[in-house]
Structure 1
């Protein structure tokens, strides 16, 4: 049973009873720029778009047909209370820093769907009133709901179900639903075991063998193919306009005869549109060239049986557009084609998005909200040096108003992102496609049915998949060995994986073994300047959180390998030997790439052990026992890792093992073999470097000792 609360207005957190024509979202929660239509309380579908100002967010709708009729009225009222009310500070106290009086429209949508799952379960079990949801029914439902669910997901489910009870108490007609038992008992008793087997995993980084060719092709599109594609697109649009204006006249019939009949006589391929099933005469292309109407072309094709001919001899539809891009030293296309150009335009936009997603460290929503003009050309510095390109745009995570409520529109990031050259080029390409101040990935300009706002994450994921398919088809056709994109062992490529992959490569590929070798080093330079450049701060962890995790995992792997090598009898040498032994003796093992959220502070604490954190440098063939004050690579004051691309001889932080000495001699032999095939001046330099490497290896052999001998 439910009853309307008497004197509800006495409590400011309790809302009055809505009328059938009451708006679903009250005016005070709709931002001035939000023009999405509002629903009414009596409507069978509630649009939550008036709450959503982020162009990258899905515009959600609640379908009340999914809720059993006996429980629909109660659930509608509680949902309306959630949409327009706020949880009390006394309720939020002690629930953690992430607890909010109001959440986002998308989170409200997910919460309501969770409530509907409960309502359907109750209805199947003969319950027609939420007040009959007792503690025992809570336990029974949760046991079924969380079966096979990961721990993190289970915790979210419990929180959303608790909100049903909390907002139910604030509605004008409380239902009397029982308090969930996990609110009075330990929630751990209701959650799956924290064994790291499910949602404790963070997003997997992309495999280097996948990212390398993908990023290479993305930058190739942006730098080498963009001009050709955009010029062809403009020409195609011009021809499309001509085709739309075509008319059937005797002159255009003669033009058709002049264009197509010689092709028929000579047995040449006819301009064709190749669909999923069969080729057909490209009427739009022919109309643009002749001025004929589509209907006249159809009659001409019937008269001369062109349908049969074109299926046997389908031909291209070349555009009057130059081909300047090169691929493997040759023009990448014989000509730009009328029907291929839209596909290439989609891939160009995808390539630009991939470049921005990977090489900025932005979250996907932040990339989706970039606008034309976000990255202006910098002014020269006072000493005449070129300034850095900076990206100014919105961020969304943990953005709240003065009352602690979620702000859907986000806010302009106080600290701009730093854009390296490939990102600037990608932004410039997108700016040539969209109007000034428009979203760079605005759905209105990029061949999609996504509606208002920017390309959705799901759309971008599908386009990345299509881009990879195109890359592999092109690599096979052009016999470009090693340039295909293999399947990733951890699943599909999606927008959420690029951010962690950036941190993974900065931490584990300091020399740039995948692509853009120098840029990886440059990105660490930018990212480590936390105080001087204000790229990010500890209060807004941003990419630094991800980078710290990967750096800690990398350092732990290095220390563990060193421990195993020493246990196997290898010797060690170098000025930092004792510190390296200490680090190897006290390293924890982090199996796999399972990274629980609680690992972030552990990672930072691990990296903060200045002087006993180990970094393997495969380019310099040594291990760095990083200590800021003595490092010759001149790291910044807040750096927690060396500049491995700037490793210098004689640094007091270095150590080497017998394995390193062996690799030094192998590299020396490679240089000698290379010198035999090069001109004398270059050969002399290579042999000098080879001699230096052998001297370094000899020094190790003469000074190295086992771990037992050093104890």
Structure 2
């Protein structure tokens, strides 16, 4: 029998665990039945069990899994003793579980919440700053610390006691205290202790020689173990720190590696598990025929990694088409490679807070560890923002909760649709990424970035119509061939959607309504009341085009019957007229460009005049 890949011949460890929990209700039900063997169960008895599952107070997915768990037992019947062999469950003959457990609550909308822009923007600023401006200091300071640590002798030199006493006398003369480090204890909280390892490396004596030194002389009440390295990094031209603490160097290295992880996850659009599996040397620079450069990443893909039998390959498989990424991603990968010498780009041992690095060597950073480190990164950035009096760069708490790796990919889709000319930006800055990562992701369009877009497109349209409702309440006007359609759309949106929080079902309803497909084309300064039958941006347009199609903002035609302009558009056009007039009158502008500016002024003034003469009130 041919089955979908959802029932595979070999299960992953997680699927085995899930299947065990899904089969338990059936085993408990069978325990209290009259039959002694599974082979004694009749189709009618299994029908009763299906009814029991259908009436249970769980959602569609658990119900479906619980019935499929029984189907697995049936599928294994040829390999089981006779008394364990089940008859074919009734739902297998029906072929549609919805007839038994009800309609699915699944929607195409990706339910992962995007990171709020108020959180994502300063987070990206700080991560780029750490990677671009501060990473060299951290790498150099870590190197200095490692050399100091490796120089600590194991045996007491002949003049060791003299060195220690001489050091203490110098502290007494200068009024300084013993260097200290911050100790974090669950019971006592934060406290200070003598920086023994730092002192050993500085004085050239073993740590045991310093035992009891804190009883002989006073210890500083704050961290004071600066490395002999002068930081060179700056923030807006000002030094970011005067020194780097001996004990802070390792934590800063982990901080920069976490920033690299964020940059790669967010700006590449790769899935979290794909980023975590990247290896040293994965990114290469490619020179195109026109002399321009791009960067490509070779790595593993997991979602579509199946063998000829449809079974998942646990370790994933090499992606046939490399990811193409922008410069900041390539630079973040380069910095990550400089931070450690392991094969994996983001190894768990480099993100450990408590456990020994050797215990996790050879494994990639876990989602849990990545989440904890991103949280620590945000806390550190906020501390620095306050210390450096950069309150405008404080990273606020995200309304949807903790920042985890899977949310970066979701957030990328959010920004693509909300930036002016978002799809144009995707085509230019992420041009290769659109063809490779969106359409070819795992050899399936539905497995790529495009599956994240529908809700964002709906929310973008909704935001535009919400602004139009506000403008209409303030007496705004609209003009153009599609003015009446724009007005009707605003009225319908006000009656149906205004003031409501849009869910996935409402978003789908909005995008199915051809009357509400209003797109704001920022570069062309107009609103597109999109009707595929009238659209000049699609030369192959047909009357029966699917409503799912969107306009092409890069091919907007001024003759199109879908155009409408509001007072807001006219204000922006007036600003362009003023700029063009200044260029036309400037002696510094070449004559051909001045003539072009004059022509532009004429065309734009005609639009303003038409709006004043034909505009109708919203």
Q: With structure 1 as the length reference, what TM-score do the two structures score?
A: 0.68
> Aligned residue for 1:352?
260
Cα-to-partner distance string for 1:275-309 (whole Å, 9 max, x where unaligned): 1231011100000011111111114333x1x3xx2
Alignment partner of 2:138 out of 229, 240, 248: 229
> Aligned residue for 1:467?
377
Listed as ranges, the gaps of 5+ residues in structure 1 are: 1-88, 633-638
Would the alpha carbon gap of residues 108 and 363 (structure 1) be closer, same or farther in structure 2, given more than 3 Å must change?
same
> Aligned residue for 2:289?
382
| C-alpha contact (below 8 Å) 1:527/1:535 kept by paired residues | no
Cα-to-partner distance string for 1:463-520 (whole Å, 9 max, x where unaligned): 11111111122222222112111111111111111111100100112378xxxx9976
> Aligned residue for 1:509?
419
Superposition pairs for residues 22-421 of structure 1, below 5 Å? 89-90=1-2, 92=3, 96=4, 98-115=6-23, 131=38, 135=46, 138=49, 142=53, 147=57, 149-160=58-69, 162-167=71-76, 170-172=79-81, 174-175=83-84, 187-188=97-98, 191=101, 202-243=111-152, 245-276=153-184, 277-302=190-215, 304=216, 306=217, 309-310=218-219, 313-378=221-286, 380-383=287-290, 385-421=291-327
Q: CA RMSD in A?
A: 4.8
Once residues 67 and 170 of structure 2 are traced to their aligned partners in structure 1, the CA distance between those partners, rounded to angstroms, is 74
| C-alpha contact (below 8 Å) 2:536/2:557 kept by paired residues | no
| C-alpha contact (below 8 Å) 1:130/1:177 kept by paired residues | no
Q: CA deviation at 1:130?
A: 7.5
| C-alpha contact (below 8 Å) 1:623/1:655 kept by paired residues | yes
Would the alpha carbon gap of residues 375 and 406 (structure 1) be closer, same or farther in structure 2, given more than 3 Å must change?
same
| C-alpha contact (below 8 Å) 2:482/2:564 kept by paired residues | yes
| C-alpha contact (below 8 Å) 1:504/1:550 kept by paired residues | yes
Listed as ranges, the gaps of 5+ residues in structure 2 are: 185-189, 539-547
Q: CA deviation at 1:336?
A: 1.4
Matched, 1:622 2:535: no
| C-alpha contact (below 8 Å) 2:296/2:324 kept by paired residues | yes
Instruction: Name the SS for the 1:389 alignment partner.
Output: strand
Instruction: Name the SS for the 2:284 alignment partner.
Output: coil
Once residues 99 and 432 of structure 2 are traced to their aligned partners in structure 1, the CA distance between those partners, rounded to angstroms, is 45
Q: CA deviation at 1:249?
A: 3.1
Alignment partner of 2:564 out of 655, 663, 677: 655
Would the alpha carbon gap of residues 334 and 489 (structure 1) be closer, same or farther in structure 2, given more than 3 Å must change?
same
| C-alpha contact (below 8 Å) 1:570/1:657 kept by paired residues | yes
Would the alpha carbon gap of residues 153 and 563 (structure 1) be closer, same or farther in structure 2, given more than 3 Å must change?
farther
> Aligned residue for 1:485?
395
Q: CA deviation at 1:217?
A: 0.9
Instruction: Name the SS for the 1:441 alignment partner.
Output: coil
Once residues 440 and 190 of structure 1 are traced to their aligned partners in structure 2, the CA distance between those partners, rounded to angstroms, is 48
Would the alpha carbon gap of residues 166 and 532 (structure 1) be closer, same or farther in structure 2, given more than 3 Å must change?
closer
Would the alpha carbon gap of residues 507 and 278 (structure 1) be closer, same or farther in structure 2, given more than 3 Å must change?
same
Once residues 287 and 203 of structure 1 are traced to their aligned partners in structure 2, the CA distance between those partners, rounded to angstroms, is 50
Q: CA deviation at 1:223?
A: 0.7
Would the alpha carbon gap of residues 295 and 669 (structure 1) be closer, same or farther in structure 2, given more than 3 Å must change?
farther
Would the alpha carbon gap of residues 280 and 188 (structure 1) be closer, same or farther in structure 2, given more than 3 Å must change?
same
| C-alpha contact (below 8 Å) 1:102/1:405 kept by paired residues | yes
Deviating more after overlay: 617-626 vs 249-258: 617-626
Alignment partner of 1:424 out of 297, 307, 330: 330
| C-alpha contact (below 8 Å) 2:54/2:63 kept by paired residues | no
Q: With structure 2 as the length reference, what TM-score do the two structures score?
A: 0.77
Q: Which has the higher helix share?
A: 2
Cα-to-partner distance string for 1:547-598 (whole Å, 9 max, x where unaligned): 34423442355357657867997432235657757977998969746447x9
Matched, 1:454 2:364: yes
Aligned residue pairs, count:
577
